[in-house]
Structure formats: structure tokens, C-alpha cells
Amino acid sequence: MKCERISELLPDYLQGSLSPDQHRNVEAHLEHCTDCSEEVAVWRKLSLLPVEQPSPMSRVRFEAMLQAYQAGRSNQSAGDSAWGKRASSWNFFRWLRSPLGVAAWSAALLVIGVFAGFRMAGPKPPSPDIAEIQKQLESTKQLVVLSMLQQQSASARLEGVSWSTREQQLNPQVLSALLHTLRYDSSVDVRLAALDALSRHSAQPQVRSSVVNALQEQQSPLMQVALIDQLVEWHDRDAKPHLEKLRQSQDLNPAVRQHADWAISKLN
Amino acid sequence: MTLAPDEDLMLQVRDGAGEMLGVLFDRYQTPLFNFYSKLTRDRMRSEDLVQQVFLRILKYRQSYRPGTPFRAWVYQIARNARIDHFRKFPREKAFEPEMLPPVRPTDSAQEQQEVELLHRALLQLPEDKREILLLCRFQELKYEEIAELLGCELNTVRTRIHRALQELRKSFHQLTQDRLKPANTASAQNLPPRGGRHEV
């Protein structure tokens, strides 16, 4: 049997849906055709690709979305829909175990409360408005970021910072929380992540000035180098005097001083 | 844990049992996430897209008809969500090796290498070819369901799968050959010093 004929049968062979005769024919061909047998081998190898797991936040977000939707529904027609009546039967407890879960849930519940209150008080005709729910979901994300940035554990705060990068536009509160993190977080990793997150929003004047100011405040050489790199990346010529000032600091790490010199030459 | 078929659960969701969507979420969030993450190599976007799919299920739940295979229906929604998302937010990231997921520590060295090369080969395929392989190999959709999803004939699906697999085989073969060559082409003099990523 020729390869062209086999190619018609191969997809069904791979799914095991050929007749026994056709199956035998394909197997016979595979024994002496390298290309076709390699195709089968590659197909089988695809099963080696690992199954990736979404983050636990994914479930929390889903639940917040569903609650928001149900709140909208039950307001729309109190009594005529099963949505509002049914109590949720899911096991939330495993999500509540971690501090991350607590933070996320607090945020989610706050949004649900605000949402429900808004729906009850609002003069608009109550209808499940998807656009509005999406708006609420955006707020959920922001609240999740805000509460995660205040967690005890550095990894939770790191996750909070990484969450903030999902947004194209930063809400002013999240921006201000990130700027605070950049200056005062106790973990250098979290501060570095905050710098990375903020670097996407260089159009905001606050961001640039905070990065320049942080240059004088930060004591960690790692952070100093990252800040210098950022200013060079922005080609921020106004930063030059600040870099000069930094390089004259007495107890500056020599590698940082060298890096500042390099940056000054780049900005010239 | 309910063992009810997806279709029954979706009918219950349609008729008002919102909590049943949680069961469907548990069944589908990982496959959907993998569909998106293997297609886009972007975990965050993939998670956002999974949320979009479930929001759309709620939005369009009244359009779900008894007898429609849920899996096919949900992947129709998933494809549309992705198309709409990338229309709104065009991709700025090209594939970079560090975007590959971490290899499990239990894997043998040879297996690790094969997984990495296979990932690369898959990412080198045009998106439509990668998508059709993902749909039939990982999402376990039947060819008939894929035909309906893509709006084409069953035979076209078979041909496309075969072409995608041929291309994947060539790519994988090429990458394996490249790996066997000695790595002497990278010139050290081009390596930038510290801060080199800013050299323009």
C-alpha cells in the first residue's frame, strides 16, 4: 500500500476506528515506511506533554463570577427563578485553607456585597447585564490584588503583583498599592516584581518619578541595579542627576557604582 | 461528586441549577486551560479565557439544546472566546523558551529532552494546525465534532490532521537533528556585557 493511500487511513488508525482489515494493512505499511511510522510515533509522543494546572485563583474567580451572576438574577425576579433559591453545595473549604484563599475570598465577597447592594438600590430595571458583571469582575481582580499585596507571606504578595500585570490599565488604587510595595515591601523579590509590573505603565508620570525616587531610597544592590536598568530602558535623561548622586554615595556597592556609570554614559 | 453526564448537568444549568456549573467547571477547567496554554503559551491569558468561557456558558445557556454534545458545544464557545479576545488584545509576545512549562522532576533525561523538542515543534506549527492537533489529541474531540466545530467536511478534518502531523513530524525531526549537532556556532564575542539587553 502506498503512502498516499495510508495517509487517508492514518487519522482513523490513530483513533482506532479502522476495520480489522484496514488496520492490518496500515500496520504492514508502517513496518517498512519510516516517514509514516515516525508520524505515528510523534502522535504517540504527544501524550508525554505535561498537563498544566491552572492556579487555584482560577476557581475563586469562577465562584465570584457565578455569585455575581446569581445575585443579578435573583434580583431580577425574586421568587421565579431557581438560581436565587438554591444554596451553593460546593466545598469552599479547601479554598479557604490558604491565606491566599482568605484574601481572595474576602475580596470576592466584598465585590458580591457591593454588587448586590448596587443592584438592590439601583434605579435601573434589573436585568442580568453581562457587561456590568464583567465590570464587577474587573473590580474583583483589583480587590484580589489589593488584598494579596497586604499578605504576610512574600509569595502571596508576589502573586498579588503578578496578578496586577493582567490588567492593561491600572486602577489608581492598585497603582498606588504597587508604588507603596516598590518602596516599602520587606522582600526584595516582591519589590523587584513590583518594579517589573510598574514598568509597563511608564506613561503614568507617577510611575517614573517613583522609580527615580526609589533610586535614592533602596539599599539593596539588586534593586539598585534593576532601577538603573529601568531608567536606561526608558531613556530617561532626567534621571541623570539622580544617577550622579547615587554614584557618589559613600557606601555604594562598587558593582552598582560601575553600573550607574554605564547608565550615565548610555543616557548621554 | 456527581457522575451525571455533562449534558444532563448543562440542562440543569440551563434550567436554573447554577451550582451544577461548578461541577462542569471542575471537569473542564484543566482541559480548557491546557487547550489555551498549549495554543498561546500564555498562562495568564489562558486563565482569563477559561473564565470567559464559563461566563459565556451562563450568557448563552438558554441556547443549549438537549442532545448537543456538551464537549463540542463548549469548545465552540472556547474558540469564539479566543478569537474575540485576540481581536481585542493582539498578542505582543513571541514564543520564548522560558515560556515552556517546567519539566516534571521524575521524567528521565531522554524523556525531558523529547518533551522539550516536541513542545518546540508544536509551537512552530501554524496556529490552525496546532489547534486541530490539540483538539483531537488532547481535548479528545471526535473527528465529526471537529468537523462541526471548524465548519468543514469530515474528510477535510482527516486531511488537515494528517498534514498537521506531517509538519509536526518534520519539525520534530529537524529539531532532533539540530540538537545532535555540536553547538559551536554561537559566537561568544556577540554576547553583551551586563546590561546588554539595553543595547539597541
Cβ atoms of residues B162 and A7 within 8 Å: yes
Nearest-Cα distance to chain B for A8, in Å, is 7
Mean pLDDT, to the nearest integer, of A129-157?
75
CB < 8 Å to A58, chain B: 29, 33, 47, 50-51
Mean pLDDT, to the nearest integer, of A157-166?
79
Residue B78 to residue B84: CA distance in whole angstroms? 10
Mean pLDDT, to the nearest integer, of A103-129?
60
Residue B79 to residue B74: CA distance in whole angstroms? 9
CB < 8 Å to B25, chain A: 59, 62
Dihedral angle sign, alpha carbons of residues A121, A125, A126, A128: negative
A10 touches chain B (CB under 8 A): yes
Q: For position B100, what pLDDT does the model report? A: 55
Q: For position A186, what pLDDT does the model report? A: 84
Residue B6 to residue B67: CA distance in whole angstroms? 11
- B100-131 confidence digits (pLDDT tens): 555 555 557 777 888 889 989 999 999 899 99
Which residue from B minimizes the CA distance to A41?
B169
Q: For position B187, what pLDDT does the model report? A: 45
Grid cell locating B89: 488584545
Residue B192 to residue A232: CA distance in whole angstroms? 16
A232 touches chain B (CB under 8 A): yes
Q: Is residue B21 scored above 80 in pLDDT? A: yes
Mean pLDDT, to the nearest integer, of A133-154?
75
| Domains within chain B, CATH numbers bracketed | 1-91 (1.10.1740.10), 108-181 (1.10.10.10)
Cβ atoms of residues B164 and B150 within 8 Å: no
Q: Where in chain A are the domains?
A: 3-48, 53-148, 167-268
Q: Is residue B98 scored above 70 in pLDDT? A: no
Q: Is residue A219 scored above 80 in pLDDT? A: yes
- 3-class SS of residue A79: coil
Residue B2 to residue A83: CA distance in whole angstroms? 19
C-alpha distances (whole Å) from A41 to each of A13, A73, B118, B166 are 13, 51, 12, 11
Q: What are phi and psi of A49, to 5 degrees?
A: -60, 130
Does the model's pTM come out above 0.80? no
- Best-predicted range by mean pLDDT (A103-107, A113-117, A141-145, B146-150): B146-150
Q: For position A110, what pLDDT does the model report? A: 66
Q: For position A64, what pLDDT does the model report? A: 80
User: Residues with Cβ < 8 Å from A18, sequence gap 6 or more?
Assistant: A9, A12, A26
- 3-class SS of residue A202: coil
Nearest-Cα distance to chain A for B162, in Å, is 6
A65 touches chain B (CB under 8 A): yes
Among B24, B27, B110, B161, the strongest candidate for a mutation testing the A interface, having the largest count of A CBs within 10 A, is B161
Q: Is residue A86 scored above 60 in pLDDT? A: no
- Best-predicted range by mean pLDDT (A203-217, A223-237, B157-171): B157-171
Which DSSP string do the residues of chain B spell out, in sequence order? -----HHHHHHHHHTT-TTHHHHHHHHHHHHHHHHHHHHH--HHHHHHHHHHHHHHHHHTGGG--TTS-HHHHHHHHHHHHHHHHHHHS---PPP-GGGSPPPPTTS-HHHHHHHHHHHHHHHHS-HHHHHHHIIIIIS---HHHHHHHHTS-HHHHHHHHHHHHHHHHHHHHHHHHHHHS----S-GGGS--TTGGG--
pLDDT-derived band at A190, boundaries 50, 70, 90: confident
- Best-predicted range by mean pLDDT (A1-5, A195-199, B166-170, B193-197): B166-170
Q: Which residue has the cell 470567559?
A: B52
Q: For position B109, what pLDDT does the model report? A: 74
